[in-house]
Chains A and B, each alone.
Chain A
Amino acid sequence: AQRVTQPEKLLSVFKGAPVELKCNYSYSGSPELFWYVQYSRQRLQLLLRHISRESIKGFTADLNKGETSFHLKKPFAQEEDSAMYYCALSGSNTGKLIFGQGTTLQVKP
């Protein structure tokens, strides 16, 4: 079964603390993994793709095929990072995305 699991509904940290948003997936094949972010009252925005191995707004994510994980990390959280974060995978050639439940990141001052 194709599935994305984000085990934490809410992650609350203080400003300057490290952040790790967990994502595990189940897919028979080689999926492409993404992180999307949704700030309050805004649209879903693409944050990261595993293929590009980039760092956006200080966030990084490494695909671990052995653990089927794609955790999102940032060494020092900022208040403006407070948002809903969705992990998603794409496996079909139609571009269909399968989303996790989302994790709300709350960064306290």
Chain B
Amino acid sequence: EPEVTQTPSHQVTQMGQEVILRCVPISNHLYFYWYRQILGQKVEFLVSFYNNEISEKSEIFDDQFSVERPDGSNFTLKIRSTKLEDSAMYFCASSGQGWKGAFFGQGTRLTVV
């Protein structure tokens, strides 16, 4: 069964550094998402991406964040200058045509020190 894959599984970075989280969505999916979950809190929507552009973003997704689909398979989330409060589990998800729910990757745990 096809799956969304994310790399790395765990990333530790120093405050102020840039990080790129990578995702390979399910191959025939057209809609891509990033969510995050701070420890002990709910899963929060960050951004949705369709047809090579952002279709919706949350208040969390400020100028420090950007997304890109650099080729036909990868979908990345970049945080330009990480802050301590960016420490969280970041989930990538994708969905196909005829919205039937999103399929999630296993997550990347980002720790900012």
Contact = CB atoms under 8 A, between A and B. Distances in A.
Contact of B44 (A36, A44, A52, A99): A99
Contact of B45 (A42, A45, A97): A97
Interface of A: 32, 34, 36, 42-46, 49, 52, 86, 88, 90, 92, 94-102
A96 B45 contact: yes
Chain B interface category by residue count: 20 to 34
Contacts, number: 55
A34 to B, nearest CB: 5
Given A44-B91, A99-B43, A102-B42, A94 B56 contact: yes
16 contacts: A32-B99, A42-B106, A43-B4, A43-B106, A43-B107, A46-B103, A52-B100, A94-B31, A96-B45, A96-B48, A97-B43, A97-B102, A98-B45, A99-B44, A102-B42, A102-B43
Contacts of B105: 43
Contacts of A43: 3-4, 91, 104-107
Contacts of B31: 94-95
Nearest to A51: B100
Contacts of A98: 45
Given A92-B56, A94-B56, A97-B102, A44 B45 contact: no
Contacts of B101: 34, 46, 49, 90
Interface string B32-45: 01010000011111
B42 A94 contact: no
Contacts of A95: 31, 33, 48, 95, 99, 102
A98 B50 CA distance: 18
Contacts of B55: 94
Nearest to B45: A96
Nearest to B40: A101
